[in-house]
Amino acid sequence: MSRGRYSLDELNATLAEGLIPAVPVMFDREHRFHERAHEAYVSFMSSQPIAGVAVWAHTGRGLLLDDETAQRVMRQWRQAISDKPLIAGVGARDPHEPTSATLAMATAAADYGADSLLVYPPSWLKDQEQRDSQIVKHHEQLSKLGLPLVLFYLYEAAGGVRYTKTVLDELLTLPNVLGIKMATLDSVMTYQEVAVHIQSRHPDKLLITGEDRFLGYSLRRGAKAALIGMGAVCSDLQAELLAAHFAGKAERFLELSDLIDRLAEVLFIDPMEGYIGRILYALARLGVIPGEAANDPWGPALTAPELDNINTLLNTLCCLS
């Protein structure tokens, strides 16, 4: 397999201080891939101030897409953002041979043009006695493929696995590991502890925030880039937030952080699986995609109060941003 278009140092420099949206996929009401809407969304996002794009992540239902749709999604993004990194989520579609399935997905991603791999947590190892060593072995095999790897520390309720500091040290010193995405949701302590550990022990690795519900704070605590589902909508505001933070523009940073927290507070609520449908609804309300394409086949139905809250917030953002 080719090593890809970017070395670790090149990819680090390209993604640092930037927004990497984890992008959704559009479906019609019969749960068929809505190619026209997806093309419109890809075209819109390619003009936004983003550092790259993450496909096949949870926001894009990467482990649930059929092979044909997954390929079409990847190829559309690759063609549209030929000048930016394309990160592909890879994980186990087959629970019986999970590492083999992950390797197959990673190989397909490389064949379709991915520049880096975001490794889904090996959740099937959570309760195994030899969990820690097996987690490392799983990532070792992926690192041999040659593409830069982004590790993924995800909270357990969403299918993540707790990585001890020893495991983190072993993972972060594997060949081809670019850094780690943190998505702890409501465990600020976990985020703080891992951030401090990486800053002190692995300062050359890219700490990437996936913390939609405390984006601004996660930047303040050391994140150097953001790979988040929320970045799929209102990307310009979030990219400006990052720019204000890294430029030391404190007043604008605080203003934007408050606005974006309010956006997160209507998108990332219980039931959490609904956040993808909420993002799609927001994209439709903003005119980016047609309403008929704002469907997530695997998520819960959205309630009227949820939709009202999103509408109110979007109106506020349009007035204040």
Q: What are the DSSP calls for 229-253, one per residue?
A: GGGGSSHHHHHHHHHHHHHT-HHHH
Q: Is 45 domain-assigned?
A: yes
- How many domains does the structure of the chain reveal? 1
Residue 294: per-residue pLDDT: 97
Q: Is 312 domain-assigned?
A: no
32: phi then psi, degrees, rounded to nearest 5: -100, 145
Please tell me the distance from the alpha carbon of residue 229 to that of residue 168, in angstroms, as a whole number. Answer: 24
Residue 96: per-residue pLDDT: 82
Residue 5: per-residue pLDDT: 87
Q: Closest by alpha carbon to 278, among 318, 241, 305, 315?
A: 305
DSSP string, 16-64: TT-EEEB----B-TTS-B-HHHHHHHHHHHTTSS-S-EEESSGGGTTTT
CATH number, domain containing residue 204: 3.20.20.70
Q: Is 295 domain-assigned?
A: no
Q: Is 296 domain-assigned?
A: no
Q: Is 304 domain-assigned?
A: no
DSSP-assigned letter for residue 147: S
Helix axes 188-201 and 165-172, enclosed angle (nearest 10): 50
Q: Is 282 domain-assigned?
A: no
Please tell me the distance from the alpha carbon of residue 78 to that of residue 105, in angstroms, as a whole number. Answer: 16
- The domain in which residue 27 lies consists of 8-256
Query: Per-residue pLDDT for the chain (321 aa), expressed as one digit of tens each?
Result: 445 689 999 999 999 999 999 999 999 999 999 999 999 999 999 999 999 999 999 999 999 999 999 999 999 999 999 999 999 999 987 778 999 999 999 999 999 999 999 999 998 887 788 989 999 999 999 999 999 999 999 777 766 788 999 999 999 999 999 999 999 987 888 999 999 999 999 999 999 999 999 999 999 999 999 999 999 999 999 999 999 999 999 999 999 999 999 999 999 999 999 999 999 999 999 999 999 999 999 999 999 999 999 999 999 886 554
Q: Is 95 domain-assigned?
A: yes
Residue 319: per-residue pLDDT: 53
Q: Is 261 domain-assigned?
A: no
